Structure 1
Amino acid sequence: MRPRSAPRSILGVNNLPPAERDAYYTAIIPLELLGQFGIHPHTFTDAQGHRLLQIIAPPDTGSAELDLRPYAGAPDPLLYAHIADTPNNQIEVLLVVVNDPNSPRFDTDRMPDGTPTDFGTRRRNIPEEVRAMAAGLAPGQVRRGLRLSGQLVPRFEAFVASLGHELVIIQPLAYHNAIRFERMGFGYISGKAYMEWIDVGFQPGGELYARLDGSTPFRQPGAEKTVRGRSWAIHDGLLGEPFQGVRMYKRVGQYAGVSTFSGGW
C-alpha cells in the first residue's frame, strides 16, 4: 500500500528532497543499460568518477527530464526521457530517445550550418535523411536504437503505479512510433480512426498508395509494405499535413491488443 503522503504527480516528486526525487526518476533507467555501458547503478558515474546523468526537475513544476550520456562529453544521450503532468492529473511521456553510441551518426537533426531541424518539422536535411533511411533508421533518429522498448515500458508502468496511477499516456511523434506502441500494448485515446484511414490509404488502389510514385527518395513504390517505409513517406508530406492528433495509453499490467497495421518493420 502506498503511504498516504506519497506524491501523486511529477510536481509532487519534484518538490521532494533531491535524493528522494532522484530515486523516483532513476528507477526508470534499465539496469541492463547501465551494466552494458559500465555506468554505476547508484552514482551514475563512469570508472573515472564523471557523473553521466542529469535530472532536470525544478521544484514547483510538473515536468522532468532525464539525460543519461554513455561517456563524459558524449554528443548524444544514451537515454533521454521527458515526462510531465497533464491538465487532467495523468502522467504523460512526452519524449523518449535511445541511441546506440557505437553506431554511425546521421545529422538529420541539424542542417549543414548547425541549425536545428526540430525532428524535421521546421526544416529538413534531405541528404542525411536519405542516408539514414538507407541505413534502416526511422524518421527522427540520428543513430540506431538499442531495442530497449521492451524494458522501458514496464519501468514507466512501475513509475506511474508508484504515483498511484493506472495509465501511461504518450503522444507518438511519428507513424512508426504509434505502431511500435501498439505492439507494446498501448491503445488509443484519440487517433485510432486516423491510423486506420492511413492503413486503408496505403492499400493497393488507395489514395496514399497512388502517391508512392517515386517522385522523391521517400515515396518509392513498395514503401507501403513496411512500417518504416510508410513513416518516411508520411514524414515526406505524403498525407498533405503533419502526422498529428494521436494520443495513446497503456493501462498498467494490461495489453490493449490494438493493431492498425500488421506488416513488417
Structure 2
Amino acid sequence: MTAETQTLVRPMVSVEGVDKWFGQNQVLFDIDLQIAEGETVCLIGPSGSGKSTLLRCINHLEEINTGRIRVGDDLIGYREKRGRLHELKEHEACHQRVRVGMVFQQFNLFPHMTALENIAFAPIKILRVPKAEAISRARTLLERVGLAAKADFYPSQLSGGQQQRVAIARAVAMRPTVLLFDEPTSALDPELVGEVLEVMKDLVRTANMTIVVVTHEMGFAREVADRVVFMADGRLVEQGEPAQVLDSPQNARTREFLSAVIR
C-alpha cells in the first residue's frame, strides 16, 4: 500500500495527540498515527520506547491521559459529552474489544481447555455463535496454523511456538477488524520463532484485517509491513515504507538503533 493509497482509504485506527503517564513518568508524548483499513504496520524501536503501551492503549487495556483513539467510527474507551471524555464502563470497553483482537507476548491460553476449546470458547460465549459452528471454525483455524493434529492437546502438551499459534487462531476466531500483536515471538526459544512468523505472514497475506505488530524481527517487518514506524523515548521518530526506514533512515536515532540490531 503506497502513501498515495493510504490517503484514499479511511483510517481504521486513528491515534490523535495521545499522552500516557504512569504516575510521574510520561511514557507516550503527543502520539499521532493513522492506520488505513487493511494496512499492516510494524512498530519497531528499543525496549521501553512505548511500543507495547501504545498497542495496549489502542484496545483500552491502558487508559490514555490526553488525546483520542478511534477504531473505525468508535471512540475507544470513552464517550465524548460536551467536549469532555468520560471513560466507558468495563463491560462497554469489553464490547469494543471484540473488534480489536490482541496476541500477547505470553500465550495466555486456558490451561484446562484443549487447543480446540481455547479457540471456540469466546465465539460461543461472547459472539453467541452456535457451538457446532464455532467448533468447526476452530478446526479450520487449527489446520490453517498447522496444528490440526493437536486439537485435543492441552497447552501443557504443546511447545511455546504451538501455543502461540493457538493464541493467534483464537484471536482470529473472533473475526476482529483490527489485530494487534505485542512482540509475539519474544517469549519463544529461537528455534520456535520461525514457525510463528510463518503463520503471521500467511495471515497478513490472506486476512482482510488491519494489523499492527510490535516486533524486533526486522526481516519480518521488511517482508510483510506496508509501513514501519520507529519509536524511541515515547515518541514517533520516523515512519515510511520498510525499505526507506530500514535501509535509508533519515533520523540519527533510527540509524543508531538499526546499526545495533541489523548485522
The two structures have a TM-score, normalised by structure 2, of: 0.25
More strand, by proportion = 2
More helix, by proportion = 2
The two structures have a TM-score, normalised by structure 1, of: 0.25
